[in-house]
């Protein structure tokens, strides 16, 4: 897993080449809504893109993480199916529903049943390099979603420039990122991490939680501000030094959100002394997102080392899938 995390900047470069090289057969048309369906490591890229396009696309963009699609999906819907393995049963179920609803379907996968469906139904299908854990392929899958949106004229191509700047930033900061991650992992070991972020950075918080779960083999939770200030803040009532709070910060977060974070810190410190902040670097959305993603990915694999576990191991998930296949 360490090798895969370290190769993330290279993955982004390869992802750009894949996206630039793909030739769509589906013609442009006017859609009334967009649904990206995908789970886990294959779906989190869609959640990050959802945050990115929230102020750029004038039609609804929904990320679906279930077997079923919303009832509004029809011939005016663009459905992006993201399943790295191509065998995610929830995603395959949603794709079959999308086809029955006569939606336009575009697939992102490394193969499997999803690729077979795409060939049979003559769907656009962007193929990714195979043989890796889905959570280690965020750069591949997310970038292809951007190229799909570009093809259908929902966004402009400036994300390419921003991703190239991201690659440069991560490459320059790699040693410092690893050093910081090692230090932070030591602070998290033996504690329950609680991740707070702005709403526009929620997907990054979710990604961090998922990586702590899968790589570090630890439980944690996340919430967003300001919503957290309307409920969870009241739950801070008992001193518990086994909890550690991580605020994900950006210099360009909304001013009122930053004020709330500053007010929240002393409230939380009454109940745990462990409160830290992770500040992003870079100017663009993707520089800031991927700086924190890369840093927190490293934290998760160092946590695996400290916990004495294999970051690659997901036996419990495989057992669940095997049990479902027999049902």
Q: Rounded to 10 degrees, what is the CA torsion of 183, 186, 192, 197?
A: 0
CA distance 166 to 286: 7
Helices and strands in the chain: count of H runs, count of E runs: 11, 9
CA distance 102 to 109: 21
Report, as residue numbers or ranges, the catalytic residues. 214, 230, 321
3-state secondary structure of 270: coil
CA distance 178 to 53: 30
Q: Whose structure tokens read 């745990």?
A: 272
CA distance 327 to 323: 7
Structure-block tokens of residue 227: 């919503």
- DSSP 8-state symbol, 222: E
- DSSP 8-state symbol, 71: T
């Amino acid at each position: 897993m360490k090798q895969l995390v370290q190769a993330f900047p290279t993955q982004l470069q390869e992802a750009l080449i894949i996206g630039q090289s793909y030739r769509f057969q589906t013609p442009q048309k006017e859609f009334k809504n967009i649904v990206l369906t995908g789970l886990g490591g294959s779906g989190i890229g869609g959640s990050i893109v959802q945050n990115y396009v929230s102020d750029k696309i004038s039609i609804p963009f929904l990320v679906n993480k279930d077997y079923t699609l919303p009832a509004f999906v029809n011939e005016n819907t663009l459905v992006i199916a993201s399943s790295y393995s191509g065998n995610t049963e929830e995603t395959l179920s949603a794709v079959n529903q999308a086809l029955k609803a006569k939606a336009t379907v575009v697939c992102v996968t490394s193969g499997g049943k999803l690729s077979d469906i795409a060939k049979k139904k003559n769907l656009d299908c962007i193929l990714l390099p195979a043989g890796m854990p889905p959570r280690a392929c965020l750069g591949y899958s997310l970038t292809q979603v951007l190229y799909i949106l570009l093809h259908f004229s929902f966004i402009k191509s400036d994300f390419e420039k921003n991703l190239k700047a991201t690659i440069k930033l991560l490459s320059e900061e790699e040693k410092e990122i690893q050093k910081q991650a090692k230090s932070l992992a030591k602070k998290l070991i033996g504690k329950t991490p609680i991740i707070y972020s702005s709403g526009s950075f929620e997907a990054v918080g979710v990604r961090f939680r998922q990586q702590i779960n899968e790589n570090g083999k630890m439980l944690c939770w996340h919430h967003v501000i300001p919503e957290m200030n309307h409920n969870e803040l009241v739950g801070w009532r008992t001193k518990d030094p086994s909890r550690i709070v991580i605020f994900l910060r950006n210099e360009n977060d909304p001013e009122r959100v930053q004020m709330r974070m500053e007010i929240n810190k002393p409230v939380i410190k009454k109940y745990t002394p462990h409160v830290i902040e992770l500040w992003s670097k870079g100017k663009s959305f993707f520089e800031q997102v991927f700086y924190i993603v890369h840093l927190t990915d490293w934290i998760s694999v160092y946590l695996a080392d400290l916990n004495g576990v294999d970051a690659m191991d997901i036996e419990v998930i495989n057992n669940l899938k095997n049990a479902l296949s027999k049902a």
